[in-house]
Structure 1
Amino acid sequence: MLMPQRLGELTGPVFGEERVLPGDADLTKANGGEAQGQRIIVHGRVLDAGGTPVPGALLEVWQANAGGRYRHTGDNWPAPLDPHFDGVGRCVTDRDGNYTFTTVKPGAYPWRNHDNAWRPAHIHFSLFGTAFTQRLVTQMYFPDDPLFFQDPIYNAVPAQARHRMVSVFDYDATVADWALGFRFDIVLRGRDSTPFEDEDHDE
Structure 2
Amino acid sequence: MSYRQPAPGTQPPYDAPEYGSTHKRHPKQPLLRVPQTLTETSAPRMRPALYETTHNLAKGPGWEAQGERITVAGRVLDEDGRPIPGAMVEVWQANAAGRYNHERDQHDAPLDPNFKGEGRVFTDAEGWYRYTTIRPGAYPWRNHHNAWRPVHIHYSLFGAGFAQRLITQMYFPGDPLLPLDPIFNCVPDPAARERLVAAFDLDVTEPDYALGYRFDIVLRGRDATPMENPA
Q: Normalization by structure 2: what TM-score?
A: 0.77
Cα deviation, 1:17-58, whole Å, max 9, x if unaligned, reads 454335x12101257310111100000000000000000000
Task: Map 1:32-71 onto structure 2 (within 5 A).
Answer: 32-71=62-101
Which residues of 2 match residues 48-197 of structure 1 at below 5 A?
48-158=78-188, 159-197=190-228
Q: Is the CA contact (8 Å cut-off) linking 2:171 and 2:196 kept in structure 1?
A: yes
Q: Is the 8 A contact 2:90 2:121 kept in 1?
A: yes
Percent identity of equivalent pairs: 60
- Check conservation: 2:101, 2:111, Cα contact below 8 A: yes
Q: In 1, distance between residues paired with 2:2 and 2:198?
A: 25
CA 1:98–1:91 in 2, change beyond 3 Å: closer, same or farther?
same
- Cα distance, 1:136 vs structure 2: 0.1
Q: Deviations over 1:75-122 (max 9, x none)?
A: 010110101100000011000000001001000000011111100000
Contact preservation (8 Å) 1:32, 1:84: no
**How far apart, in 2, do the equivalents of 1:149 and 1:63 lie?**
20
CA distance in 2: counterparts of 1:69 and 1:2, whole angstroms: 41
The Cα shift of 1:170 comes to 0.3
| 1:20 partner letter | Y
Structure 1 residues 125 and 2: CA distance shift in structure 2, 3 A: farther
Distance in 1 (CA, whole Å) between partners of 2:226 and 2:2 is 17
SS state at 2:183 partner: helix
Aligned in 2, Cα 1:2/1:62: closer, same or farther, shift over 3 Å?
farther
> Unpaired segments of 5 or more residues in structure 2?
6-13, 15-24, 26-45
Native 8 Å contact 1:30 1:85 kept in 2: no
Contact 1:171–1:181, Cα closer than 8 Å, also in 2: yes
Give the root-mean-square deviation of aligned CA atoms.
2.4
When the two structures are superposed, what TM-score results if normalisation uses the length of structure 1? 0.87
1:21 to 52, 56, 77: 52
Change in Cα spacing, 1:76 to 1:179, as seen in structure 2 (3 Å) is same
Describe the SS at the equivalent of 1:162.
Answer: helix
Q: CA deviation at 1:188?
A: 0.6
SS where residue 203 of structure 2 aligns?
Answer: helix
Aligned positions, number: 190
CA offset digits 1:111-167 (Å, max 9, x no partner) = 011111100000000000011110000000000100012111100012231001000
User: How many Å separate the matches in 2 of 1:94 and 1:76?
Assistant: 38
Rate the CA distance shift 1:107–1:191 in 2: closer, same or farther, 3 A: same
